[in-house]
Structure 1
Amino acid sequence: MMDTRKTVLFHCQHSMGMGHLVRSLTLAKTLAKRFRVVLLNGGELPEGMTFPSELDVIHLPPIGQLIDHSLYSIDTEITLEQAQEIRLHQIMKIFNEIHPDVLFIELFPFGRKKFVNELLPLLEAANALGKNAPITACSLRDILVGNRKDQEQHENRAALLANRYFDAVLSHADPDFAQLEETFQPQIPLKTPVFYTGFVLPKQEIQPVDFSEIKISKTLVVSAGGGRFGYDIFRNAATIAPALGEHFGLKVKIITGPFLPDDEFVALKKQSAEIANLEVIKFVPNLHKELCAARASISQCGYNTTMDLLQSKVPSLVIPFSEGEEDEQLIRAQRLAKLGQLQYLIPQNLTPESLFDAVKNLLNFRPDSTPLNLNGAEKTGEILAQLIGERDAKQTRAAAKKQTYSEWLKPVLDAMNRAPLPVKFFFRDDDAGWRTDRLQALLKLFDRYHLPIDLAVIPTALDASTINFLKAAKATAPQRIGLHQHGYLHQNYQSEGRNCEFGSDRSLDAQFEDISRGKALLEDIFGRNALDAIFTPPWNRCKSDTAKVLQLLNFEALSRDETAEPLHQPGLIELPIRIDWLRKRKGVALTREEFGEYLAAGIRKGKMLGLMFHHAEMDDANLQELDELLHLLAAHSYAKFYPMRELVQIKFEKLHVQNNFAL
């Protein structure tokens, strides 16, 4: 089957360690839930590491970087220059073949300047596509190196490149912990939008350390990321292992990482053969699991190691890597120590004696529970989807300006053009659960114009295929597609008068039972967080008892027709529908010309316009007419569109302000 998802081309270059690769893989794996992800891996492949099967991985000829920042070809069969030439050819070939929707580049232009020979041609090729260019975004860690000899020149160059080539910078940090401008201060203003995603770390099923049982564990885990520059830590930890065993009963487990030089690994293994409580291994598939089972941890303070420490909540001593111009890890360590998350030892002060004293103090330390946003991978996907949608909508609106509209839309266009203020719209479609084929067709229209729509879902009408469709639609466009409850059975209980599921013929208890059952059913299917606290009664009718039930069940909003008498239930917002796409007059559907006048009259009233659809009753001709309307509205600069949950939030905030002033 052809993959119809949007495509992300992700360039990752790890040079001295493996942290950038680990973070990029976490991001790529999460992005693959929404997009086709093609990952360009430019660094050495760590021993024992596997790549997720859901990714398309292109391994470029690997290039490494020494402590003096000089590059070298890891494949000794080819020179650095040959590796660079092959890489450039491969990168440009894959770019031209896949036509990505997103070009996602790790660290550049804030780092990786030695890879400019392949990245600038790639960026130029993307830029040359004009209106068909991909969204170009930078994947950036929380803290940047700020101690370069040419720091000012470096930062100004980075700002220029970002402003010229990039649509967005995604900083994988909690802004309450670190903001880009704290370690990036160019004289040239950065104009590219910066989005904070939260910290990026893999979803783990291992439970964090339980401090009530922490004394059961006797293992001190010692690690240093990929291990290339961790020998001083390992050597000192091995030296004090006998004393740690004697005084505290600790077993020292050194995980060197795959990049520790072989001679250093051999020396440590030889030492471990002579010390009963010392174990030395090269690699573990899940460091987080090791940390959750540990009494304490010693490590460097790279981004990924730090994420494992924060998530596992193990008492941690970090010895930040700070060779040459590197100050990123020291800054991170100092900030986390200030928050009570860990303790740190400056590497220049590292001796067996200082390390022993630090471990002694560490055994009495418990990390604080300062909350940090650790949902960066999911948020990255949301941001990229939003950027793609905004680009597509802009292109659609540009094309729509050339559109010649049907006669029935001319009153609508005239009313929009004469509107003194922006015209605000929301869209609600009822009866999700019936005729899913027609719902799919309706959602395609809203996706085409990148417009929000809220689906009123009948809890008892959902079969497996509809559930899967709604879950996929929500995951693909979580900000644009809303799901909320639409009655329970969608069944009429009125013995006389108009159809109503929650009318005068039903007791408050009966209404409570049905609505609560429906709510529980939808939450079980979709999860509470996927549902909005909004209720739409079938046939847009209910009584005052229904509002009381909704408040008891923590609903925040009720949506009915504007002709319904307001219920004035405290704490319950009302979002009335003012335009019915299938409106009838004396039982006869309006002609399109009559509907155009009806909608134009609604626009002229200057109120929020809620448009209601019933997809199950909409045939292809009807959808074609709706396509024309959405075309007009999406292209019009006076039109503003809202998901219903956003309107609920706005109304609650206004009530809060009014109540505060009343006090």
Structure 2
Amino acid sequence: MSRSVLILVTHLLGVGHLSRAAALARGLVAAGHRVTLISGGRPAPLIKVEGAAFVQLPSVHCVGVDFRTLLGADGVEIGPEVRQARIEAILAALATADPDVVITETYPFGRRQLAGEFRALVEAARERAKPVAILASIRDILNPPAKPGRAEETEAVLARFYDGVLVHGDAVVTPLSASWPASPALERILTYTGYIADTAPPTEPVASEEVLVSGGGSAASLPLYRAAIGAAALAGTARRWRLLVGHGVAAGDFEALTAAAGPGVTVERARPDFPALLAGAAVSVSQAGYNTMIDLARAGVPAVVVPFEQGKEAEQRLRAERFAALGLAGIIAEAELSPQTLAAAVEEALARPRDTAPVLALGGVAGSVQAIEAAAARAGSLARAWTRLDEAIAARHELRLWWRDDDAVAATPALDRLLALARRHGLPLSLAVIPATVSASLPEALAGESDIDILVHGYAHANHAPDGAKKQELGYRPPAEVLAELGRGLAALRSRFGARCLPVLVPPWNRIDPALIGGLAAEGFHGLSVAGERQASRLDDLTVVNTHLDPIAWKQGGGLLDPELVLSRFTDMLEADEPLGILTHHLVHDAWLWEFLDKLFDCLKQHSNIRFLPAKTLFAASIKVKNNIA
């Protein structure tokens, strides 16, 4: 099936990001898809996007490592007018492309200075009538977050808008965690595509046996070019040196390099036949950008790399170290670069054989195309699951729902978020509190909340099951001992929460020895809540109201269960003739779980035939009986 794919990329120094996005665009076109590539950096004449619609925004760039200051084509810092013009052009391209998939290059892992336009794109894409898969596209190695909290901010944006992250690398060579604090939740949405390499057939090498010096498309490579001219002079004229200078180097600097070059050095602008020159070179000298290192891997040429490390940039150094460990290149630290160190490193590289280059996963274009197609299919399938849920709810006369959250013990940021979610949607919430470990901060945090009921979550949430058995607190001990403990737990919570604490037991892990149930009423309990369809509404003088929908993937180590599966299960549960419970565990929620719950409650609130009931209403009959007896 042909898809429409929109890619937004802005390169600020070199052209690596644009080159990678263009290769992906060409691969998608070759696979039969319609592609719109939006570029926000300076025009790059050597980058080809055959077959794709190309949109050039009012260009921006930066000088050196000052990524905060964005300069326009005139070299002046851009203002709000340029930023707004870029956003308008992006949204116009979105409307024209009508994409099935939107891909943002680097954002939200970087490009914070352009976050407004990236955010405008993903927000508009998410609001479109038809389902749109939104993917982030990143290279193998990122610059680690510069400030505390940046990784969490990135995950919050990913959870709210994105369906996945394409990592254009090899998890065996360089997992994302080598450069970025990847949480388990983030790891679950990563797809390692392999390295994006040119898919064109290998060109015939230009057998020059030269030392080929390249530096990408920016002026950041000037120190490398200057050191190379000096190193060539030290090496004499036995072997020619060729410097390929990127078009981002100013004409004056280019002329100065040409004037300084000795008779054994050729200085020229970057050429489209670079792969052929590289394949025929004796040694390559370069920085350690993504595309350069892939070119080296393909050519198998002995190499010396000088990672760009100005302004605390760590990406190229990390990549160089990983590739050097595989025997791909020798490294000179930028601070140690000189004509002498470079000349010595080149001589050492000349002694290395050409056939030692490691085999890397270079099928990144095909891997990305496959991942993009799968994401589009998943987005459509998930949208249909939401529609089926809506239709199933609308077909019912009335639905009674309730919301239970387990394991509460103290005031925490997670509890604050839980309460804020309940307030935002105007929903009553039942908190299952652990008596033995409850903190004084919890009743304080709940003092101003009117729609919160407290339930008794066992006693200490301690596992007493033997090895090999499922976890269980309420069992595997003498019943009298367990019942007495539960009675103390109920009394303790009532002393802290007063009438807000209901005499309702929520067994930890939703498991209880059946032999205990008959003795709960004598300890003051008149309600029981576990998980799954109930067998009866009353059991041994207890009112039973269970939970049914748990969105956590416990068997997979936590996080959000496949949302399509969650929605499918919920749709099937609607036929049950009992109040349906949504079960959450605020202390273990990640950003993706919070966002799913927010969307689910938004969906449910749109239906007038749904009633969210508080626990005090659901268990009211048994509680009144208890009070009358007392």
TM-score class, shorter: 0.5 to 0.7
**Partner Cα separation in structure 1 for residue 53 and residue 243 of structure 2:** 33
1:205 paired with 2:186, answer no
2:248 to 259, 272, 283: 259
Asked if the contact 1:208–1:314 (Cα under 8 Å) also holds between the matched residues in 2, the reply is no
2:48 to 37, 46, 51: 51
1:8 paired with 2:2, answer no
1:41 paired with 2:42, answer no
1:524-560 residue CA offsets vs partner (Å, 9 max, x unmatched): xxxxxxxxxxxxxxxxxxxxxxxxxxxxxxxxxxxxx
- Cα distance change of structure 1 residues 382 and 183 upon mapping to structure 2, 3 Å threshold: same
Q: Tell me which residue corresponds to 1:100.
A: 99
SS of the aligned residue for 1:124 comes to helix
2:350 to 358, 363, 375: 363
Q: Tell me which residue corresponds to 1:162.
A: 158
CA RMSD of aligned residues (A): 2.6
1:612-641 residue CA offsets vs partner (Å, 9 max, x unmatched): xxxxxxxxxxxxxxxxxxxxxxx998xxxx
**Partner Cα separation in structure 1 for residue 289 and residue 250 of structure 2:** 19
- Cα distance change of structure 1 residues 186 and 51 upon mapping to structure 2, 3 Å threshold: closer
SS of the aligned residue for 1:84 comes to helix
1:332-352 residue CA offsets vs partner (Å, 9 max, x unmatched): 111111111111111111111
TM-score (norm 2): 0.59
Asked if the contact 1:13–1:41 (Cα under 8 Å) also holds between the matched residues in 2, the reply is yes
Asked if the contact 1:92–1:122 (Cα under 8 Å) also holds between the matched residues in 2, the reply is yes
Asked if the contact 1:159–1:186 (Cα under 8 Å) also holds between the matched residues in 2, the reply is no
- Cα distance change of structure 1 residues 6 and 206 upon mapping to structure 2, 3 Å threshold: closer
1:315 paired with 2:302, answer yes
Q: Tell me which residue corresponds to 1:233.
A: 224
The alpha carbon displacement at 1:78 in A equals 7.7
Matches within 5 A, 1:516-531: none
Asked if the contact 1:166–1:192 (Cα under 8 Å) also holds between the matched residues in 2, the reply is no
Letter of the structure 2 residue corresponding to residue 297 of structure 1: S
Q: Tell me which residue corresponds to 1:343.
A: 330
Asked if the contact 2:19–2:47 (Cα under 8 Å) also holds between the matched residues in 1, the reply is no
**Partner Cα separation in structure 1 for residue 102 and residue 220 of structure 2:** 31
- Cα distance change of structure 1 residues 187 and 137 upon mapping to structure 2, 3 Å threshold: closer
- Cα distance change of structure 1 residues 147 and 390 upon mapping to structure 2, 3 Å threshold: closer
SS of the aligned residue for 2:38 comes to strand
**Partner Cα separation in structure 1 for residue 51 and residue 33 of structure 2:** 10
The alpha carbon displacement at 1:245 in A equals 3.5
Asked if the contact 1:147–1:325 (Cα under 8 Å) also holds between the matched residues in 2, the reply is no
Letter of the structure 2 residue corresponding to residue 194 of structure 1: L
SS of the aligned residue for 1:22 comes to helix
1:153-181 residue CA offsets vs partner (Å, 9 max, x unmatched): 22121111111111000000011111112
- Cα distance change of structure 1 residues 5 and 78 upon mapping to structure 2, 3 Å threshold: farther
Matches within 5 A, 1:14-163: 14-33=11-30, 34-46=32-44, 48-66=45-63, 67-76=65-74, 80-81=78-79, 82-129=81-128, 132-146=130-144, 148=146, 150=147, 152-163=148-159
1:60-105 residue CA offsets vs partner (Å, 9 max, x unmatched): 0001123221233332298612221110111112212332100100
1:277 to 264, 284, 288: 264
**Partner Cα separation in structure 2 for residue 167 and residue 187 of structure 1:** 16
**Partner Cα separation in structure 2 for residue 372 and residue 191 of structure 1:** 21
Q: Tell me which residue corresponds to 1:244.
A: 235
The alpha carbon displacement at 1:323 in A equals 0.3
The alpha carbon displacement at 1:371 in A equals 2.0
Asked if the contact 2:27–2:365 (Cα under 8 Å) also holds between the matched residues in 1, the reply is yes
Asked if the contact 2:297–2:358 (Cα under 8 Å) also holds between the matched residues in 1, the reply is no
Q: Tell me which residue corresponds to 1:219.
A: 210
Q: Tell me which residue corresponds to 2:170.
A: 174
SS of the aligned residue for 2:70 comes to strand
Asked if the contact 2:209–2:280 (Cα under 8 Å) also holds between the matched residues in 1, the reply is no
- Cα distance change of structure 1 residues 197 and 304 upon mapping to structure 2, 3 Å threshold: same
Letter of the structure 2 residue corresponding to residue 9 of structure 1: L
SS of the aligned residue for 2:118 comes to helix
In structure 2, list runs of 5 or more residues that go unmatched.
393-566, 570-630
In structure 1, list runs of 5 or more residues that go unmatched.
405-634, 638-663
- Cα distance change of structure 1 residues 234 and 79 upon mapping to structure 2, 3 Å threshold: closer
The alpha carbon displacement at 1:289 in A equals 1.3
The alpha carbon displacement at 1:306 in A equals 0.5
Q: Which has the larger radius of gyration?
A: 2
Q: Tell me which residue corresponds to 2:377.
A: 389
**Partner Cα separation in structure 2 for residue 330 and residue 83 of structure 1:** 34
**Partner Cα separation in structure 2 for residue 356 and residue 57 of structure 1:** 42
The alpha carbon displacement at 1:399 in A equals 5.9
Matches within 5 A, 1:398-409: none
- Cα distance change of structure 1 residues 83 and 399 upon mapping to structure 2, 3 Å threshold: closer
**Partner Cα separation in structure 2 for residue 107 and residue 147 of structure 1:** 13
The alpha carbon displacement at 1:189 in A equals 4.6
Asked if the contact 1:217–1:293 (Cα under 8 Å) also holds between the matched residues in 2, the reply is yes
SS of the aligned residue for 2:212 comes to strand
Asked if the contact 1:296–1:316 (Cα under 8 Å) also holds between the matched residues in 2, the reply is yes
**Partner Cα separation in structure 1 for residue 338 and residue 222 of structure 2:** 13
- Cα distance change of structure 1 residues 370 and 78 upon mapping to structure 2, 3 Å threshold: closer
Q: Tell me which residue corresponds to 1:648.
A: none
Matches within 5 A, 1:290-305: 290-305=277-292
**Partner Cα separation in structure 1 for residue 351 and residue 315 of structure 2:** 27
Asked if the contact 1:63–1:83 (Cα under 8 Å) also holds between the matched residues in 2, the reply is no
**Partner Cα separation in structure 1 for residue 353 and residue 213 of structure 2:** 18
1:215-271 residue CA offsets vs partner (Å, 9 max, x unmatched): x7431100111131111111111112233234xx21000001111122211111112
Letter of the structure 2 residue corresponding to residue 8 of structure 1: V
Asked if the contact 2:145–2:151 (Cα under 8 Å) also holds between the matched residues in 1, the reply is no
Q: Tell me which residue corresponds to 1:627.
A: none
Q: Tell me which residue corresponds to 2:587.
A: none
Letter of the structure 1 residue corresponding to residue 359 of structure 2: P
The alpha carbon displacement at 1:125 in A equals 1.4
- Cα distance change of structure 1 residues 397 and 161 upon mapping to structure 2, 3 Å threshold: closer
- Cα distance change of structure 1 residues 399 and 122 upon mapping to structure 2, 3 Å threshold: closer
The alpha carbon displacement at 1:128 in A equals 2.4
SS of the aligned residue for 1:176 comes to coil
- Cα distance change of structure 1 residues 352 and 156 upon mapping to structure 2, 3 Å threshold: same
Q: Tell me which residue corresponds to 2:399.
A: none
**Partner Cα separation in structure 2 for residue 312 and residue 395 of structure 1:** 45
SS of the aligned residue for 2:219 comes to coil
**Partner Cα separation in structure 2 for residue 79 and residue 291 of structure 1:** 37
Asked if the contact 1:18–1:226 (Cα under 8 Å) also holds between the matched residues in 2, the reply is yes
TM-score (norm 1): 0.56
SS of the aligned residue for 1:37 comes to strand
**Partner Cα separation in structure 2 for residue 294 and residue 32 of structure 1:** 32
